[in-house]
């Protein structure tokens, strides 16, 4: 039963990858004719078959649902807000007369368990103000911070809550 | 009338993008060590590329070309933090292997 | 009018990428040089998009996409070599 379910999510991943590759092909070729569509579907099939062992199964990504889509929209909104904040704070630091920075390394606990969510969270940490993710592990993330207080802001912040809500959305 | 408003939007977005690119390069020159430089370039490049591509999409209007530009924008936003993370990881691991006295000499 | 403004922005970006090239020339460690080259490749990709729109050659946008991909793969390759000291 367990193996069967795993196979099921893997087939769904393959279908999703195939559809997104076809859409990508159609946008790149910028006009729709039947030979373009057939060649695109053949090429997408070859790419999916070649990459079958790279696809995500259910231990690595959250299953899709409407609640998950809403949680993902919340994540995107918060990441964009963080990018804008990070840039204005960097402008203040870099164009100031003296560089008021005190760089140091630190660790924060890893709140997530699935691999795809962990890498998305590490990318989002790189884009938040004053932090840069360096090493991602199963139970901690090593972070380089420009000032120590940015590291404290990251722990249990709004971004982490959004990601935890996204990971729990399929239960 | 509408073209004037559109042109003003494009000018604002392009000036903002060029400004953030400039801030990123100034940070690349001014910052004291490698990790702080990666801070400056990863964030400012992401913002600058986003602003310039959105300005180009507004200037082009909604066509197939602007969908292409949107794909380039999504690709840059996904890959830029990943590249910064990988460079920082390789430099961090390299410093872990070295003896302690050489650790600060790299700047 | 807008074309001239976009060309001015392109010239400004080219000048800033030469400033980044100074860091790639001087940079004390290998990671500095990789960061500078990554910055330049992002800038060149957005310059190609602007050139595509002012010269009405919409095929150049695909060139920008491929340039961004090649820059990303090159950055990952050199950083991986730095991390493992081999490429196999």
ipTM of the complex: 0.88
- Domain-wise residue ranges, chain B: 2-95
Tell me the nearest-neighbour CA distance from A116 into chain B, angstroms: 13
- Which band of pLDDT confidence, cut at 50, 70 and 90, is reported for residue A21? very high
- B27, B35, B71 member nearest A132 (Cβ): B35
Q: What was the pLDDT predicted at B106?
A: 44
Query: Under an 8 A CB cutoff, do A90 and B64 touch?
Result: no
Which residues lie across from A108 on neighbouring strands? A141
Query: Under an 8 A CB cutoff, do B25 and C64 touch?
Result: no
- B69, B86, B93 member nearest C61 (Cβ): B69
CA angle B34, A120, A7 (to 5 degrees): 140
CA-nearest of B93, B80, B27 to A101 is: B27
Question: Can you tell me the mean pLDDT for B12-35?
Answer: 90
- State the DSSP string of B59-103: HH-SSHHHHHHHHHHHHHHHHHHHHHHHHHHHHHHHHHHS-GGGG
Query: Under an 8 A CB cutoff, do A132 and B23 touch?
Result: no
Q: What was the pLDDT predicted at B105?
A: 44
Round to whole Å and give the CA distance between B79 and A30: 24
Whether residue A136 has pLDDT greater than 60: yes
Q: How many CB pairs (< 8 A) connect A and B?
A: 83
- The phi, psi pair for A105, rounded to 5°, reads -95, 150
Q: Are A147 and A130 in contact (CB under 8 A)?
A: yes
Q: Does C8 touch chain B (CB under 8 A)?
A: no
Which helix (H) or strand (E) is A131 found in, with range?
strand A131-136
Query: Under an 8 A CB cutoff, do A30 and B68 touch?
Result: yes
Which residues in chain A are contacts of B20 at CB distance < 8 A? Answer: 87, 91
| Distances A24 to A3, A4, B85, C22 between C-alpha atoms, Å | 32, 30, 27, 37
Round to whole Å and give the CA distance between B57 and B77: 16
B22 or A54: which leads in pLDDT: B22
Q: What was the pLDDT predicted at A5?
A: 58
Whether residue C54 has pLDDT greater than 80: yes
Which helix (H) or strand (E) is C11 found in, with range?
helix C2-26
- Domain-wise residue ranges, chain C: 2-84
Exposed / middle / buried, residue B102 (Cβ in 10 Å: 0-12, 13-18, 19+): exposed
Q: Does C33 touch chain B (CB under 8 A)?
A: no
C41 CA to centre of own chain = 1
CA-nearest of B77, B91, B40, A91 to C19 is: B40
Tell me the nearest-neighbour CA distance from B88 into chain A, angstroms: 6
Question: Can you tell me the mean pLDDT for B52-60?
Answer: 91
Query: Under an 8 A CB cutoff, do B34 and C31 touch?
Result: yes
- A94, A123, A134 member nearest B88 (Cβ): A134
Query: Under an 8 A CB cutoff, do B68 and C65 touch?
Result: yes
Round to whole Å and give the CA distance between B46 and B21: 9
Whether residue B72 has pLDDT greater than 80: yes
């Amino acid at each position: 039963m367990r193996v069967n379910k795993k196979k099921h999510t893997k087939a769904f991943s393959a279908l999703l990858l195939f559809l997104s590759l076809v859409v990508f092909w159609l946008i790149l070729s910028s006009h729709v004719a039947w030979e373009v569509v057939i060649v695109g579907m053949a090429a997408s099939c070859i790419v999916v078959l070649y990459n079958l062992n790279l696809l995500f199964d259910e231990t690595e990504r959250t299953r899709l649902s409407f609640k998950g889509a809403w949680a993902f929209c919340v994540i995107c909104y918060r990441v964009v807000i963080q990018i804008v904040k990070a840039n204005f704070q960097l402008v203040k630091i870099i164009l100031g007369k003296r560089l008021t920075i005190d760089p140091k390394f630190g660790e924060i606990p890893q709140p997530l368990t699935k691999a795809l969510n962990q890498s998305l969270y590490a990318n989002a940490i790189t884009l938040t103000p004053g932090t840069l993710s360096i090493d991602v592990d199963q139970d901690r993330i090593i972070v380089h911070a420009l000032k120590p207080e940015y590291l404290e802001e990251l722990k249990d912040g709004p971004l982490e809550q959004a990601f935890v809500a996204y990971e729990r959305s399929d239960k | 009338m509408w073209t004037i408003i559109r042109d003003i939007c494009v000018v604002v977005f392009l000036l903002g993008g060029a400004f953030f690119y400039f801030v990123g390069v100034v940070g690349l020159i001014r910052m004291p060590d490698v990790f702080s430089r990666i801070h400056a370039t990863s964030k400012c490049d992401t913002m600058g590329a986003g602003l310039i591509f959105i300005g180009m999409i507004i200037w082009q209007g909604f066509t197939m070309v602007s969908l292409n530009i949107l794909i380039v924008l999504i690709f840059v936003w996904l890959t830029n933090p990943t590249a910064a993370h990988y460079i920082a990881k390789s430099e961090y691991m390299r410093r872990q292997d070295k003896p302690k006295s050489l650790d600060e000499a790299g700047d | 009018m807008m074309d001239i403004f976009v060309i001015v922005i392109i010239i400004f970006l080219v000048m800033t990428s030469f400033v980044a090239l100074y860091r790639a020339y001087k940079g004390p460690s290998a990671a500095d040089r990789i960061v500078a080259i990554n910055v330049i490749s992002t800038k060149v990709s957005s310059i190609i998009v602007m050139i595509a729109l002012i010269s009405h050659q919409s095929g150049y946008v695909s060139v920008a996409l491929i340039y961004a991909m090649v820059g990303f793969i090159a950055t990952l390759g050199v950083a991986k070599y730095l991390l493992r000291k081999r490429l196999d």
